[in-house]
Structure 1
Amino acid sequence: MLRNAWYAVTRSAVLQEAPLTVRALGEQFVLWRSPQGTVQAMADQCPHRGAQLSRGWLTAGCLTCPYHGWQFNTAGKCVHIPANQAEATIPKRAQIKTYATTERYGLVWLYWGDLPAAQGIPIPPLPEWGAPGWRAIYGESEWPAHFTRVTEGNMDSSHAPFVHSAFFGLRDGAQVPPYTVETTPWSVSAITISKPPKRAGILKLILKRDRPVTTAHLTGYLPGVNRIDVDFKFKGYRFIYFGVHTPVDEATTRTQWIGLRNFLTAPWADGHSRRNVVKTFEEDCAVIASVRPAIVPFQGGTEVLVGSDALQVAYRKLLRQYAQQGWWWSDRYPSPRQPTLV
């Protein structure tokens, strides 16, 4: 996993004052809202006897352990031990690790790292969220795969005719025209051109049959965020998929996703839009879960890559760059030899 980055761990609408447990980044967290509405996050384990704090409750803004009633303030410091005599001192070690949090795009983000958040990887921009003329839907999906494989798969322009053939078809015309990759310190992106998808489902209501092409602006942000901006080349209609792939552990990824559309923006169309995204997830998951090695071999590997994989190559280079800075954390996977680009 990549340190010094923000990860989306749940939706803002899900988190209320009651403590919520979240498994992510190989750890167990407890999240809750303070009386002022701000999100708090701590390790979900009491330092006293190891109880799960998310089973507790709030007392005057403090998180109360369900086992012995110890109370912890928002800084993670124990401020009350009911069993103590009045003159007893609370041990300094009665402290829980806390994590920085923020809310953006209707999601709760948690910062995981050892550098200050200002020096880490920023949350990607999503200017269309909340803008006039755009409708947002939300979802959560889980993959039995590593987040790097999920992120790569979501910015792969050449798999669609084979994995999503019911929607795209065109297996006999699967060539990917050359494209240019743009790289920033935190992202890679490219605009790809393809034949238009089939006019299936909700698309029958908005698209003409004779559209020559469709373009997709594919962006991968570190550590594992995808933005897929599809321009249907008809009346300015676009659909934007924004997915944040947070590792639960090294074998499981949970995605918090947002679907944004600037057409058919009434609520009645949400179900159609959501079903399209979920179906795409299910088709991708069946393949991505089977890929080996489990983590993309960004520090070397035996995969043979070609020109249509240029975006994946750029993503791997970014991962390798920050791994060399010591930001990568893994205790299971070795580094094979360099991949071959042909």
Structure 2
Amino acid sequence: MQQLQGAPWLVAHRSMLKPNQPMKISLLGDDYVIWQDSYGAINALPNACPHMGAMLSEGWCVTKADGSSAIACPFHALEFDYSGCTVLPGSQKQTKSLLQPLELIIQGDFIWTYGGYAPQIPIPPIMNNIAAEYEFIGVTGERSVGTDILSLLLNMHDYNHQNGTHRELFEIEEVQVKQFIDEGLHSHAYLSQPRKSPTLRDILKNPGQLAMPKVLEVHLENFFPFMGLMHAENKLLSLKECHFYVPETETQSRVFILMYMKAYSPIAHLIKGNLLKLIDLVVQQDADILEKIYPNTPQKIKLNNEVGMDWVRRNFESFPNL
């Protein structure tokens, strides 16, 4: 995958890694095993054992005498340390590195990587700023979607699809793009979205509706190609909905969302779980649509409010240049 090499990718939040439990991640056509040891150190190696190709993510972690951990292959129990070295049966000597570690950039709870490529754009400090000021309320919407990264990004920056994909969820009557600020690989979109008032039945079914006013005034901040933030505020809370996009393969993409909140009312704490469920449903609806489109269909119709999609197409074609 040549198109987006050199972009930073957030592959996980620390809360997604249970101590000494390996997890598989995919990035730019390669699979890795990532794990966190008992002391909080996080490492990643290629997921294929160099003996016979077994998935190391299906193995287990082994704690060494020095407190570090290694990954044990599920096939023959070979143990690989963080540098990719092992000790073969009958030998007392460690091998040279047989697996090239994936270079990770750990910033607090955020686990970034450039996927082994030279950085072309920096990691923005905004997530560290949000984490310092807001309460982390959880991860939601994580799933692998059967679509290429361009189609995923176009969907996430399509300001018209709320009326279709999410029509029953938000009852949005109209989308108004009040302002779009184009700063190259960084942009801001300010949307106004009048919606039908929820019924009592709607509220009982999803109390998260209480956090949504009659008109959704939304500020979307976009960092091409890896992150999109929704800044929302009302009398109950200030919300930071942080979307992350990961190109797994040419035809598979991963998405997950980190949710942060600043409560202005005790009610906000009562609906945290409902907010996570609401956003998970939004992502599921997006995933369902993305897996049922023909991505190479020529676009013969252009709607209003496609400025975000135009921004995605331009940056995708020229990345990393502006």
Whether the TM-score (by the shorter chain) exceeds 0.5 is: yes
2:219 alignment counterpart: 217
1:166 alignment counterpart: 168
Task: Say which SS state the counterpart of residue 180 (structure 1) adopts.
Answer: strand
Deviation at 1:165, TM superposition (A): 1.9
User: How far apart are the structure 2 equivalents of 1:101 and 1:56?
Assistant: 21
| Contact preservation (8 Å) 1:121, 1:222 | no
- Matched length: 304
Q: How does 1:21-36 map to 2 (within 5 A)?
A: 21-25=23-27, 26-34=29-37, 36=39
Question: Does residue 207 of structure 2 align to residue 202 of structure 1?
Answer: yes
TM-score by length of 2: 0.78
Amino acid paired to 1:82? P
Residue 278 (structure 2) aligned to one of 276, 293, 303: 276
| Contact preservation (8 Å) 2:22, 2:60 | no
Task: Say which SS state the counterpart of residue 262 (structure 1) adopts.
Answer: strand
Deviation at 1:72, TM superposition (A): 3.5
Question: Does residue 314 of structure 2 align to residue 309 of structure 1?
Answer: no
2:187 alignment counterpart: 188
Amino acid paired to 1:31? I
1:97 alignment counterpart: 100
| Contact preservation (8 Å) 1:143, 1:254 | yes
User: How far apart are the structure 2 equivalents of 1:125 and 1:18?
Assistant: 29
Amino acid paired to 2:221? T
Deviation at 1:123, TM superposition (A): 5.0
2:137 alignment counterpart: 136
User: How far apart are the structure 1 equivalents of 2:223 and 2:258?
Assistant: 15
| Contact preservation (8 Å) 1:227, 1:240 | yes
User: How far apart are the structure 1 equivalents of 2:238 and 2:196?
Assistant: 13
Change (3 A) 1:138 1:65: closer
Q: Deviations over 1:17-38 (max 9, x none)?
A: 4251314123221112346422
Q: Deviations over 1:110-156 (max 9, x none)?
A: 331321x4x44425623333425x45221223322223322322232
Change (3 A) 1:152 1:219: farther
Q: Deviations over 1:155-209 (max 9, x none)?
A: 32222122222244354xx35345333224x32222122225644443564567x
| Contact preservation (8 Å) 1:247, 1:254 | yes
User: How far apart are the structure 2 equivalents of 1:207 and 1:248?
Assistant: 33
User: How far apart are the structure 1 equivalents of 2:167 and 2:94?
Assistant: 67
| Contact preservation (8 Å) 2:240, 2:260 | yes
User: How far apart are the structure 2 equivalents of 1:144 and 1:194?
Assistant: 29
> Identity of aligned pairs, percent?
16
User: How far apart are the structure 2 equivalents of 1:304 and 1:121?
Assistant: 36
Mind listing any 5+ residue stretches in structure 1 that lack a counterpart? 326-342
1:153 alignment counterpart: 155
1:40 alignment counterpart: 43
Mind listing any 5+ residue stretches in structure 2 that lack a counterpart? none
TM-score by length of 1: 0.74
Task: Say which SS state the counterpart of residue 305 (structure 1) adopts.
Answer: coil
User: How far apart are the structure 2 equivalents of 1:124 and 1:163?
Assistant: 32
| Contact preservation (8 Å) 1:239, 1:261 | yes
| Contact preservation (8 Å) 2:176, 2:193 | yes
1:229 alignment counterpart: 231
2:251 alignment counterpart: 251
Task: Say which SS state the counterpart of residue 142 (structure 1) adopts.
Answer: strand
How large is the Cα RMSD of the aligned pairs? Answer: 3.3
2:61 alignment counterpart: 57
Deviation at 1:258, TM superposition (A): 1.5
Amino acid paired to 2:62? L
